[in-house]
Amino acid sequence: MQENGLKCRTVRARVKTTKTDNSKSPAPDMLQRNFTVDTPNTKWVSDITYIRSTGGWLYLCAILDLYSRKVVGWNLSKKMVTCQVNCPLFS
* pLDDT attached to residue 40: 94
Rg value, the chain, Cα: 20
Residue 24, pLDDT above cutoff 80:
yes
Contact status, residue 35 vs residue 8, Cβ threshold 8 Å: no
Alpha-carbon distance of 34 to 22, in angstroms, equals 27
Task: Report DSSP state, residue 79.
Answer: S
Domain count, the chain: 1
Average pLDDT across the chain, whole number: 83
Going by DSSP bridges, is the β-strand pair 70-77/56-65 parallel, antiparallel, or unpaired? antiparallel
Contact status, residue 63 vs residue 73, Cβ threshold 8 Å: yes
Note down the domain range covering 48: 37-78
Residue 89, pLDDT above cutoff 60:
no
* pLDDT attached to residue 69: 93
Residue 72 belongs to a domain: yes
Residue 19 belongs to a domain: no
Residue 62 belongs to a domain: yes
Q: What is the pLDDT of residues 31-46, one digit of tens each?
A: 998 999 999 999 999 8
Global pTM value: 0.62
